[in-house]
Chains A and B, each alone.
Chain A
Amino acid sequence: MKKAILPAIYLTLSMTFVTGIIYPLFITAVSQLIFPGRADGSLVKVDGSVVGSKLIGQHFTGDRYFWSRPSSTDYNALPSGASNYGPTSDSLKTLVERRRADFIQLNSLPSNAIVPAEMLYASGSGLDPDISPEGAELQIERVARARRFGPRGREALAKLVRRSVRGPQFGLLGEPRVNVLLLNIALDTLHVTGRKTS
Chain B
Amino acid sequence: MKFGTLDVLQVALFILSLAVLTPIIGSFMAKVFSGEKHFMKSFLGKTEELIYRVCRINPAEEMNWKEYTFALLAFNFAGFILLLLFQEVQQILPFNPQHLPAVSWDLAINTAVSFVTNTNWQSYAGETTMSNFVQMVGLTVQNFLSAATGIVVILPFIRGIIRKTTDDIGNFWVDVTRTTLYILLPLSVILAIILVGQGTVQTLTHYHTVKAITGQGQVIPVGPAASQIAIKQLGSNGGGFFNANGAHPFENPTPLTDFLEMLSILLIASGLVYTYGRLIGSMKQALVIWSVMLVLFVSMLSVSLYSEWTFHPAYASTPTMEGKETRFGITNSVLWEVATTSASNGSVNAMHDSMTPLSGMVALVNMMTGEVIFGGVGAGLYGMFHFILLTVFIAGLMVGRTPEYLGKKIEAYEVKMAVIGVVAPSAAILVFTAIGVITRGGISSLNNSGPHGFSEILYAFTSAAANNGSAFAGLNTNTVFYNLSQSAGMVIGRYSVIVPVLAISGSLARKKSIPPSPGTFPTDSPLFGFLLIGIIIIISALTFFPALALGPIVEHFLMLAGKTF
Q: Which residue of A lies closest to B76 (CB)?
A: A8
Asked if B125 contacts A175 (CB within 8 A), the reply is no
Kindly name the residue among B56, B198, B210 whose own CB sees the greatest number of chain A CB atoms within 10 A.
B210
B313, CB-defined interface residue at 8 Å: yes
Mask of B419-452 contacts with A, CB within 8 angstroms, 1/0: 0000000000000000000000000000110111
Q: Which residue of A lies closest to B66 (CB)?
A: A1
Q: Is A8 in contact with B78, judged by CB distance below 8 angstroms? A: yes
Q: Digit string of B493-528 for contact with A (CB within 8 Å is 1, else 0)? A: 000000000000000000000000000000000000
Q: A12-B75, A188-B213 are in contact. Are A40 and B249 (CB under 8 A)?
A: no
CA distance in complex: A168, B259 (Å): 12
Contact indicator A15/B316 (Cβ below 8 Å): no
Are A52 and B210 within 8 A (Cβ)? yes
Query: How far is B356's CA from A128's CA once the two chains are assembled, in angstroms?
Result: 21
**B253 CB-CB contact with A under 8 Å:** yes
Tell me whether B324 is interfacial, beta carbon within 8 Å: yes
Interface: B297 (CB within 8 A): no
* A4-B67 in contact given A27-B202, A125-B325 (Cβ < 8 Å): yes
Instruction: Assess the B244–A127 pair: CB atoms within 8 A.
Output: yes
User: Does A50 lie within 8 Å of B322, measured CB to CB?
Assistant: no
Residue numbers in B under 8 Å from A175 (CB-CB)? 255, 326-329, 332
A130 near B564 with CB under 8 A, answer no
CB within 8 Å of A: which B462-476 residues: 472-474
Q: Does B145 contact A (CB under 8 A)?
A: yes
Cβ distance A75 to chain B, nearest Cβ, rounded Å: 7
Query: How distant is B302 from chain A, measured CB to nearest CB, in Å?
Result: 19
The reply to whether B323 and A121 form a contact with Cβ atoms under 8 Å apart is: yes
The reply to whether A34 and B316 form a contact with Cβ atoms under 8 Å apart is: no
Give bound CA distance, A10 to B332, whole Å: 42
Residues of A within 8 A of B32 (CB): none
Whether a CB of chain B sits under 8 angstroms from the CB of A143 is no
Q: Is the CB of B323 within 8 A of A123?
A: yes
One digit per residue, 1 when the CB lies within 8 angstroms of any chain A CB and 0 when it does not, for chain B 1-37 equals 1000010011001000000000000000000000000
Q: Determine whether the beta carbon of B326 is less than 8 Å from that of A128.
A: yes
Binds A, one of B47-55, B161-169, B408-416, B529-537: B47-55
A48 CB within 8 Å of chain B: no
For the complex, count residues of A whose C-beta is within 8 A of B.
100
Interface residue A192 (Cβ < 8 Å from any Cβ of B) = no
A37-56 with Cβ < 8 A to chain B:
38-43, 46, 49-53, 55-56
Would you give the 0/1 interface string for A128-150, flagging 1 where the beta carbon is closer than 8 Å to chain B?
11111000000000000000000
Min Cβ gap A92→B in Å is 6
- State which residues 227-285 of B face A: CB under 8 Å: 227-228, 230-231, 242-244, 247-250, 253-256, 258-259
User: Considering the chains assembled together, what is the distance between the CA atoms of A149 and B73 in angstroms?
Assistant: 70
CB of B144 within 8 Å of the partner chain: yes
Residue numbers in B under 8 Å from A19 (CB-CB)? 140-141, 144-145, 180, 184-185, 231
Cross-chain contact of A35 among B197, B222, B244, B452 (Cβ < 8 A): B197
- B286 within 8 A of partner (CB): no
CB-nearest residue of chain A to B254: A169
Task: Give, as a whole number of angstroms, the nearest-CB distance from A114 to chain B.
Answer: 6
CB-CB under 8 A from A181, the residues of chain B are 213
A-side contacts of B51, CB under 8 Å:
11, 14-15, 18
Residues of B within 8 A of A117 (CB): 1, 316, 318-321
Contacts of A185 in B (CB 8 A): 213
Please determine whether B140 and A24 come into contact, CB atoms closer than 8 angstroms: yes
Q: How far is the CA of A120 from the CA of B389 in the complex (A)?
A: 49
CB-nearest residue of chain A relative to B259? A173
Q: Is A84 an interface residue (CB 8 A)?
A: yes
Given the known A-B contacts A88-B452, A89-B564, are A20 and B136 also in contact in the complex, defined by CB atoms under 8 Å?
Answer: yes
Q: A169 contacts B255, CB within 8 Å?
A: yes
Task: Say yes or no: B203 contacts A40, CB within 8 Å.
Answer: yes
Given A24-B228, A30-B193, A87-B311: A79 touches B128 (CB 8 Å cut-off): yes
Known A4-B74, A12-B78; contact A86-B311, beta-carbon cutoff 8 A: no
**Is A106 located at the chain interface by the 8 A CB criterion?**
no
How far, in angstroms, from A96 to B247 measured CA to CA in the complex?
21
Query: Shortest beta-carbon distance, B215 to chain A, in Å?
Result: 10
The 10 A-B residue pairs with the shortest CB-CB distance in the complex, in nearest-first order: A174-B255, A124-B247, A84-B474, A79-B125, A86-B452, A173-B255, A80-B244, A125-B244, A10-B55, A8-B74
List the interface of chain B (C-beta within 8 A of A). 1, 6, 9-10, 13, 47, 51, 54-57, 66-67, 70-71, 74-75, 77-79, 82, 125-128, 136-138, 140-141, 144-145, 173, 176-177, 180-181, 184-185, 188-189, 192-193, 196-205, 207-208, 210-214, 216, 218-222, 224, 226-228, 230-231, 242-244, 247-250, 253-256, 258-259, 311, 313, 315-329, 332-333, 348-351, 353-357, 360, 447-448, 450-452, 455-456, 472-474, 555, 558-559, 563-565
Sample (30) of A-B pairs whose CB atoms are under 8 Å apart: A4-B74, A10-B54, A11-B177, A15-B144, A18-B47, A18-B180, A19-B140, A20-B136, A20-B140, A24-B140, A39-B202, A41-B203, A53-B250, A65-B214, A80-B125, A80-B242, A81-B125, A81-B243, A84-B354, A84-B474, A86-B360, A90-B564, A115-B318, A123-B247, A123-B325, A131-B326, A168-B255, A169-B254, A173-B332, A174-B332
Query: Measuring CB to CB, which residues of chain A are less than 8 angstroms from any residue of chain B?
Result: 1, 4-16, 18-21, 23-24, 26-28, 30-32, 34-35, 38-43, 46, 49-53, 55-61, 65, 69, 75-90, 92-93, 96-97, 100, 114-118, 120-132, 168-170, 172-175, 177, 181, 184-185, 188
